[in-house]
């Protein structure tokens, strides 16, 4: 498992198809996002960051990591806000600058 799509949240906007490995696509009938091959994911999170409604979640391959923890990015114009939740539900937040705005 690499990318989990919440079909209730997915609006079918197609932003996630930015995947550098050409792995994200929209289902022709349902217009919902899906990943063509879970195991080919690089875990770069480009699709997760691009999704405007937070419908995608990165799941590390189970051979490497326990089930349950999550890492969710929220992208703003000049910063990104990360919310990390460990397997026991403890949360940690990080706000990091992404763009130096010029006057």
Partner 1 sequence: MFTVYSEEVTVERGRDRRMLDNVKREVIETDLLIIGGGTAGCLAAVEAREKNPNLKVTIMEKAHINRSGCLAAGMNALNVYLNPGETPESFVKYVRYDAMGLIREDLVLSTAKEINSTVQKVEKWGLPIHKDEKGQYQKRGRWNINIDGESLKPIIAKAAKKSGAAILNWTVATNYRTSNGVVTGATGFGLRDGKFYIIKAKATIVATGGASGIYKPNNTDGAHHVMWYSPFNTGSGYAMGIRAGAEMTSFEMRFIALRTKDTICPTGTLALGFGAQQVNAKGEQFMKTRFAHLGGEGAPTPLRAYGPTMEVKEGRGPCFMDTRHLTPERMRELKMSYLDMYPNIVLYWAANKIDPTKEPIEICGTEPYIMGGHCQAGYWITADRAATLKGLFACGDVAGGAPYKFVPGCWVEGILAARSAVKYIEASQAQIGLNEKEIESEKERVFLPIGRFEKEGEGVNPKEMEERLQKVMDEYAGGVNTFYEMNEERLLVALKQLDRIESQEKYLVASNLHELMLCHDVIDRVEVAKVLVRHLIYRKETRWPCYQTRIDYPHRDDFNWLKFVNSKKNLKTGEIEVFTRPYEQIVPGDRYQPK
- By annotation, the residues acting in catalysis are 42
For the CB of residue 64, give the shortest distance to partner 1 in the complex, in Å. 5
For the CB of residue 61, give the shortest distance to partner 1 in the complex, in Å. 4
Cα(61)–Cα(64) distance, integer angstroms: 6
For the CB of residue 16, give the shortest distance to partner 1 in the complex, in Å. 9
CB atoms within 10 A of CB 72: 16
Instruction: Note the residues at the interface with partner 1 (CB under 8 A).
Output: 1, 13-15, 17-22, 24-26, 28, 36, 38-46, 50, 52, 58, 60-71, 73, 80, 82, 84-88, 92, 94, 96-102
Smaller CB separation from partner 1, 8 or 28: 28
The two beta strands, 79-85 and 33-35, are: unpaired
Burial of 25 (0-12, 13-18, 19+ CB in 10 A): middle
């Amino acid at each position: 498992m690499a990318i989990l799509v919440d079909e209730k949240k997915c609006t079918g906007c197609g932003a996630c198809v930015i995947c550098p490995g050409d792995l994200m696509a929209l289902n022709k009938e349902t217009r919902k996002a899906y990943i063509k091959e879970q195991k080919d994911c690089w875990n770069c999170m480009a699709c997760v960051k691009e999704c405007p409604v937070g419908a995608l979640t990165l799941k590390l391959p189970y051979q490497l990591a326990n089930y349950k923890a999550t890492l969710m990015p929220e992208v703003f114009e000049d910063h990104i806000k990360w919310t990390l939740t460990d397997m026991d539900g403890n949360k940690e937040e990080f706000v990091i600058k992404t763009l130096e705005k010029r006057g």
